[in-house]
């Protein structure tokens, strides 16, 4: 799956994510909604939809709903997973605000691979488990130290 993801441009990945989000929230996506969400012109979105359709990631017909194919769903789910792992790490471990964590995750998710995200998720889980077991709470100590250094 990451093979397909690596071949996509950043813009194509963002289009897939947008279709995924709109579909999750509304059951489907339309070119107009995609254009509005991304602040793009409809002809640009239409061209992108044609390209994503040609490589088998979306179902697209003019003036109809846009939907992800099974392959497109897997790619978009992978991007969503990366976003979630990164945002949770930035928020729960590094202590960033939820908004900051989401903003940074949106940018980073496109340049890291699945193996990195899996390792980061395992690391976060490992140190959270250590903290819950009453061992040295390195997360809280880091967050407290970081906050005191900023003041």
> Domain range spanning residue 135?
80-150
Largest CA distance in the chain: 59
Number of structural domains (the chain) is 2
Instruction: Report pLDDT for 1.
Output: 54
Instruction: Report pLDDT for 120.
Output: 92
Q: Which two tokens stand for residue 8?
A: 């996509």
Q: Which residue, 75, 98, 130, sits at the end of a domain?
A: 75
**pLDDT confidence bin for 99, thresholds 50/70/90:** very high
Find the mean pLDDT for residues 80-91.
Answer: 93
Q: Which residue, 14, 41, 75, sits at the end of a domain?
A: 75
Q: What is the pTM of this model?
A: 0.82
* 24-79 confidence digits (pLDDT tens): 998 889 999 999 999 999 999 999 999 999 999 999 988 889 999 999 999 999 99
CA distances from 30 to 14, 49, 55, 100 (A): 15, 10, 19, 29
Q: Which two tokens stand for residue 134?
A: 């009453």
């Amino acid at each position: 799956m990451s093979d397909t993801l690596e071949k996509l441009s950043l813009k194509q990945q963002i289009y897939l994510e947008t279709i995924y989000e709109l579909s999750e929230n509304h059951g489907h996506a339309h070119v107009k909604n995609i254009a509005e969400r991304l602040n793009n012109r409809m002809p640009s979105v239409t061209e992108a939809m044609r390209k994503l359709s040609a490589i088998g990631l979306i179902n697209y017909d003019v003036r109809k709903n846009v939907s992800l194919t099974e392959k497109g769903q897997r790619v978009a789910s992978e991007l969503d997973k990366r976003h979630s792992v990164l945002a949770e790490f930035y928020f729960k471990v590094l202590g960033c605000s939820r908004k900051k964590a989401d903003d940074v995750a949106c940018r980073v998710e496109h340049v890291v691979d699945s193996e990195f995200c899996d390792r980061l998720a395992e690391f976060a889980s490992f140190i959270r488990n250590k903290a819950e077991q009453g061992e040295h709470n390195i997360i809280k100590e880091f967050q407290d130290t970081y906050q005191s250094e900023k003041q």
